[in-house]
Amino acid sequence: MWLYAGRRIVLTIPILLGVTIICFALVQIAPGDPIQNLLSPTATAQDAARLRAAYGLDQPLMVQYFIWLGKVCVGNLGMSISDNVPVAGEVLHAFVNTIVIALISVVLAFVVSMIFGVIAAYRTGSLADRLITAVAVFGISVPPFWLGVILVIFFAVDLSWLPATGMGASGSETFSYFRWADFKFAIMPIIALALPPLGIMTRTTRSSIAEILNQDFIQTLRAKGLSEAQVIVHAVVNIMPQAVAMLGLQLGYLIGGSVLVETVFTWPGTGYLLNKAVLTRDIPLLQGTILVLATAFVLINLVVDLAQSLIDPRLKRS
């Protein structure tokens, strides 16, 4: 187990290095000049040159990359061009806001999808199976940002049950998920984020459970006198390695794909921050946000691989 974990951690290092290269290159080839956003209409070419030198943008790209990489290795993501504040602190604060609603969304989707998937697989062809399949297809097909708009119109505008945007009545600094006055701001973003992974995991769980229920060892369990509940438990245990992998992938997708949902609800997470960085052409903020999101996705996959090796002994022997 320790040898497998060490090998996976070592293999993660070049992947993270590749992430930094891609992150830096993608931001650099984007159109626009961030310095122009900071200059006044009366600024001279000398003013632009001094400002460019202050942010290190007058250096060759290769030099800029290694300077940036060196700072990243010690936790320094630079200074935001638009706000003149440390990027690391701003990204960390936004990432915490994103990871919490992403975790709640993916856990909610996982639990509901396991229940729906088992019911649909056990009652294949029934009305319950058709209804659950319809819900799953709807979840996969509907864009999360469109669903967010519909939720705002229905629950915030028409019914006035939930607040439309923001993060708590007093702002994100005092937000608490254990206080209803604050948590109700997170309900619609969580629903909008949870529906797509719910649809994907429900369909995957249904097909996996249905396949296992048709295998010979299930008939043996029934012949030994096990109840249907015990048989289903055995079937669920057999798909857990696949379910854990599915859970990790969906969490990674939610963290990186929450841009439009957070923009719709004005939720101050990494998606909202990324949208702000793109609009203001804030290169340090854009690079830092993309790097944190990509690194989180890589590390989540590493944790999933290690978790699978604990659940499924066959991975250890391989």
Q: Is residue 166 part of a domain?
A: yes
Q: What is the pLDDT of residue 315?
A: 58
Q: Is residue 308 part of a domain?
A: no
The answer to whether the CB of 286 falls within 8 A of the CB of 274 is yes
CA distance 286 to 91: 10
Taking the CA atoms of the chain, what radius of gyration do you get in angstroms? 24
- Residue 102 shares a structural domain with residue 184: yes
The 3-state secondary structure of 134-159 reads HHHHHHHHCCHHHHHHHHHHHHHHHC
- Residue 201 shares a structural domain with residue 245: yes
Q: Is residue 235 part of a domain?
A: yes
- Residue 119 shares a structural domain with residue 94: yes
- Residue 10 shares a structural domain with residue 127: no
Total tally of structural domains belonging to the chain: 2
The answer to whether the CB of 51 falls within 8 A of the CB of 35 is yes
In Å, how far are 39, 103, 117, 125, 204 from 133, measured between CA atoms?
Answer: 55, 24, 9, 10, 11
Q: What is the pLDDT of residue 173?
A: 62
- Residue 13 shares a structural domain with residue 131: no
In Å, how far are 10, 72, 78, 279, 283 from 87, measured between CA atoms?
Answer: 28, 11, 6, 16, 10
- Residue 158 shares a structural domain with residue 268: yes
- Residue 30 shares a structural domain with residue 154: no
Q: What is the pLDDT of residue 30?
A: 67
Q: What is the mean pLDDT of each run of 10 residues along the chain (318 residues)?
A: 75 86 78 67 76 76 86 85 84 88 92 93 89 92 89 90 80 72 88 92 91 87 86 87 85 81 87 82 84 87 80 59
The answer to whether the CB of 282 falls within 8 A of the CB of 80 is yes
Q: What is the pLDDT of residue 317?
A: 47
CA distance 71 to 287: 12
- Residue 239 shares a structural domain with residue 150: yes
- Residue 160 shares a structural domain with residue 260: yes
Q: Is residue 289 part of a domain?
A: no
Which amino acid is it at 268?
P
Q: What is the pLDDT of residue 31?
A: 66
Q: Is residue 83 part of a domain?
A: no
User: Phi and psi (nearest 5°) for 178?
Assistant: -100, 5
The boundaries of the domain holding residue 149 are: 89-279
- Residue 30 shares a structural domain with residue 126: no
